[in-house]
Every structure is written in structure tokens, then in C-alpha cells.
Amino acid sequence: MPIPTERSAVRFRVRGRVQGVSFRAATRREAQQLDLHGHAINQADGSVEVLVEGDAKAIERMADWLQRGPVLARVDRVDRESVAASGRSGFGVG
């Protein structure tokens, strides 16, 4: 029987050329592969907010991926903030 892992949650703000380059869709695919839950939402300032919840190691892998993003993106900066895990399910884009 697998040992349950404690869920962590992190909110990232990704800045650069991250809108109009399939960043959110690629982020959702990456999150699903890592079994992370949350969302990727375009912000009015041109950044993308990425909220992920799940295993801490998977979140760190996502953090590494966000530093590069998909092929057409140019990531200039990624800010992160730990937030309370709330049992999110699925991964949405907006």
C-alpha cells in the first residue's frame, strides 16, 4: 500500500513572452504528467499565474520546467510563493 505524501502548494508568476505562445496549454500537460493540480491563468500585465498543488518533488520539477517553458516562450523571471494546500483537483487554464 503506498504511503500518502503531504500535499504542498505553490503560486508562480511567470514573466517574459508567455502569452500567445501556448504556455498555459503546455503547462497543463506538464502538470498532468507530474500529477499536479491547480491552474495557469493569463494576467493583465502579460504574465501567467501558475498555481500547483501536489507532491513537493513534483512541484520542484514543475518549477524547473517553468524556468524554460515551451519552445516558443521566453521566460525572463519566475517568482514563487508558498500557499496553503486546499485539495484542488484537476488543472484548469484561463
Task: Give catalytic residue positions.
Answer: 24, 42
CA–CA dist 4, 79 (Å, integer): 28
CA–CA dist 8, 59 (Å, integer): 8
8, 59 in Cβ contact below 8 A? Answer: yes
Q: For the stretch 26-51, what's the b/e string if a residue is b when 16 or more beta carbons lie within 10 angstroms of its beta carbon?
A: bbbebbeebebbbbbebeeeebbbbb
